[in-house]
Homo-oligomer: A and B are copies of this chain.
Amino acid sequence: MALSEFEIIDCYFAHATAERDDVRVGIGDDAALVAVRAGHDLAVATDTLIAGVHFPAEATAEDIGYRALAVNLSDLAAMGAEPAWATLALTLPAADETWLNGFARGFAKLADRFGVQLIGGDTTRGPLSITVTVHGWVPAGTGLLRSGAKGGDAVLVSGTLGDASLALTLLQAGELDASTHRDFLSERFFRPPPRVALGEHLRGRAHSAIDISDGLVADLGHILERSLAGAVIEADRLPYSMAMRECTSPAQARQHALAGGDDYELCFTIPRQLEQEISLWGSTHDLRLTRIGYIVTEPGLRVVDAQGHEVSLESCGYAHF
């Protein structure tokens, strides 16, 4: 029997996520009502996932539920915000209970980890599409913007780059399952880790930050555009995973790292004197943080090799349209 809209929300989502004290009215009224935090700014981000565009057919319902929230939490991380609430607009071709169970499990697992309560949403019938809006808090005036990079800043990234792009390439070639790095790469592509703790630590430290969803060149490019600055990326400093080093040539690795999307690592710029403190924070939090270059006052993004020679960019990342 088909489930009604109300049953879907009640069965799968109303009590699936964290329960927060600041939620006065959650799912089930015309709108949610939440208490606000004095002296803080509210961060609001929205991302949509479309079947076939933002996840491949191989993604499980649980992967999709995880990803729908993860990409949004990554946006909050890039602002330095502490996650609080989410809304979920779910468009489904049919109310498949197995799928809904998996989706809700993936969504709720991540929501719980970050103390996020689902406070509302809408379910409609149509081609599979998921839009999540997330809300988080930063002390007033401390949100991390794209616009603050300054000449001389060190450019850092979290984690390793290009893994999601490599995973997708192998998946599309039918070679992922046979890879010895299958589990690692699947995790990197299907369950990217939102770097929330790092984002919070960077408040008051980083001059600018962005999450890498469209590829390093494209996303660092947004920082440069907003900051009216340029950057030099030292290609030999790009951080690669063991999977990347073993599965591809150096040239392909560089391409994945520069142009491949979906890593959801943070790229940020800091004053050089903070580099050591930030690196130490990374070590104690088991998160690799790598300086990959520096900000310059002259606009434009240049990639140089170990000899300082400029490397041409074959691709400038992924554009949605």
Where the two chains meet, the residues of A that have a C-beta atom closer than 8 Å to any C-beta of B are: 2-5, 8, 24-25, 28-38, 40-48, 50-54, 75-76, 78-79, 81, 85, 87-89, 91, 95, 119-127, 129, 131, 133-136, 138, 140-141, 143, 145-147, 209-211, 226, 319-321
Residues of B within 8 A of A127 (CB): 126-127, 129
With A and B bound together, what is the CA distance between A76 and B31 in angstroms? 7
Chain A's interface: helix, strand, loop or mixed, by majority? strand
Instruction: Report if A146-B30 is in contact (Cβ < 8 Å); known contacts: A124-B50, A320-B5.
Output: yes
Cβ of A44 and Cβ of B85 under 8 Å apart? Answer: yes
Say how many copies of this protein the assembly contains. 2
Cβ of B46 and Cβ of A120 under 8 Å apart? Answer: yes
With A and B bound together, what is the CA distance between A43 and B33 in angstroms? 5
Cβ of A143 and Cβ of B25 under 8 Å apart? Answer: yes
30 A-B residue contacts at CB 8 Å? A4-B319, A4-B320, A25-B145, A28-B226, A29-B146, A30-B75, A30-B79, A31-B45, A31-B78, A32-B45, A33-B44, A33-B79, A36-B40, A36-B41, A36-B42, A44-B85, A44-B133, A46-B121, A48-B89, A48-B131, A50-B91, A50-B126, A53-B125, A87-B133, A91-B129, A95-B321, A122-B131, A124-B320, A129-B129, A133-B133
